Amino acid sequence: MSARAFRSRRTTLAVPGSNPRFLQKARDVPADEVFLDLEDAVAPSAKAGSRQLVADALKEGGWGAKVRAVRVNGTSTGWAYRDVVEVVERAGECLDAVVLPKVSGPRDITWLDLLLGQVELATGLPPGRIAIEAQIEDAAGLASADDIAAASPRLEALVFGPADFMASLGMRSLTVGAQPGGYTGGDAFHYAHMRILVAARANGLQAIDGPYAAIQDVAGLQRNAASVAAVGYDGKWVVHPIQVDVVNREFSPGQAEYDRAEVLLEASDYYSGRGLGAAMLDGEMIDEASRKMAMVAAARGRAAGLSRTTRFEPPVPG
């Protein structure tokens, strides 16, 4: 993970920034993160007015421990700079991250990083506190994933955007996140998922999967979430409160995995304190690489509210 503090993002709830009722209701949804949207969920005629609604919703509070993010419009639009300036000037102290959509290269991130820095300076906000999450959702963005992931110390996550990605590639499906009918090659998103995951991890970032739009298809959502969780993704966007529990579950470690991670961390401290880099734990070799894997699983378990049920037993001398 990055040097920035670990934030749990098992679920990120999309909330249209133009809808006061949804902005109100989202506070009670048990998602780890919310993003108040100024981009594709908001009609062009409502974009300017939504900035104030979003800033007010942030300032009013009531978001509990959720990560509070705003998705601004992309850098190729005429809305982007005012989205950033107006929301951060009005409510920057109540904002944890800006989600930048349609990132097609590192200069998009550099632009946002500089602009955030200017607003922070002008308003007395702590420099660099507001994080960036970059949506990779077109062919150019995927091809530049490594450069994007390295473009700013503010970056905390790369987010795959299946809807725009499907459009960018010309995939023959109109259902966001679902496999294109007729494709016989396995998972049509495998390459994009892995490309983004590798770029994210190479730069210490989280990797987050995008939305699954078929709200009633809970089994499809569950399969989709389980599959990306298995390869290492940290979480997934949700577009409706009924999607939250199933996705939170898929991205939480089970009790046994969590217990093992905590025990492994304790064992690793114990042995490294005695000058040993590699040691045996319950018949398995553990070393620095296993400690890193355990740190991720332990952080996820703690964020999911799990409590440990076992402890490391140091070997009895003799």
Out of 211, 235, 253, 301, the residue judged to bind ligand GLV by CB under 6 A: 211
In angstroms, the CA 55 to CA 131 distance is 17
Burial of 120 (0-12, 13-18, 19+ CB in 10 A): middle
Out of 16, 17, 162, 235, the residue judged to bind ligand GLV by CB under 6 A: 162
Show the tokens assigned to 304.
Answer: 């999911």
Using DSSP's 3-state secondary structure scheme, residue 27 falls into helix
At what angle are helices 255-272 and 288-303 packed, to 10 degrees? 140
- Residue 161 contacts Mg ion per CB under 5 A: yes
Which region, judged by CB under 6 A, interacts with ligand GLV, from 80-88, 138-146, 161-169, 298-306? 161-169
Number of other CB atoms surrounding residue 221 within 10 Å: 24
Beta strands in the chain (DSSP E): 11-16, 33-37, 67-71, 97-100, 131-136, 155-160, 206-209, 235-238, 279-281, 284-286
- Output the CA torsion 103→104→110→111 (10° steps): -70
CB of 164 to ligand GLV, least distance (A): 4
- Residue 177 contacts Mg ion per CB under 5 A: no
Q: Which residues contact 40 (CB under 8 A, 6 or more apart)?
A: 101, 163
According to CB under 6 A, which residues from 101 to 160 bind ligand GLV?
A: 101, 135, 137
Count of residues of this chain found to bind ligand GLV when the rule CB under 6 A is applied: 10
Out of 87, 112, 142, 176, the residue judged to bind ligand GLV by CB under 6 A: 176
In angstroms, the CA 178 to CA 189 distance is 9
Show the tokens assigned to 275.
Answer: 């000058």
- Residue 235 contacts ligand GLV per CB under 6 A: no
CB of 93 to ligand GLV, least distance (A): 27
- Residue 161 contacts ligand GLV per CB under 6 A: yes
On the CB side of 79, CA atoms within 13 Å amount to 22
Show the tokens assigned to 33.
Answer: 């993160």
Fill in the per-residue mask, 117 to 156: x = in contact with Mg ion (CB under 5 A), - = not in contact: --------------------x-------------------
Contact yes or no for 141/120 (Cβ under 8 A): no
**Residue ranges of the alpha helices (H) in 4-105?**
20-25, 47-60, 80-91
Out of 37, 83, 96, 164, the residue judged to bind Mg ion by CB under 5 A: 164
Using CB distances below 5 to 8 A depending on partner kind, what does residue 301 bind out of Mg ion, ligand GLV, none? none
Is the Cβ of residue 159 or residue 261 nearer to ligand GLV in the bound state?
159
Using CB distances below 5 to 8 A depending on partner kind, what does residue 133 bind out of Mg ion, ligand GLV, none? none
- Residue 164 contacts ligand GLV per CB under 6 A: yes
Using CB distances below 5 to 8 A depending on partner kind, what does residue 211 bind out of Mg ion, ligand GLV, none? ligand GLV
Out of 94, 150, 163, 188, the residue judged to bind ligand GLV by CB under 6 A: 163
- Residue 96 contacts Mg ion per CB under 5 A: no
Contact positions toward ligand GLV, by CB under 6 A? 101, 135, 137, 161-164, 176, 210-211
Contact positions toward Mg ion, by CB under 5 A? 137, 161, 164
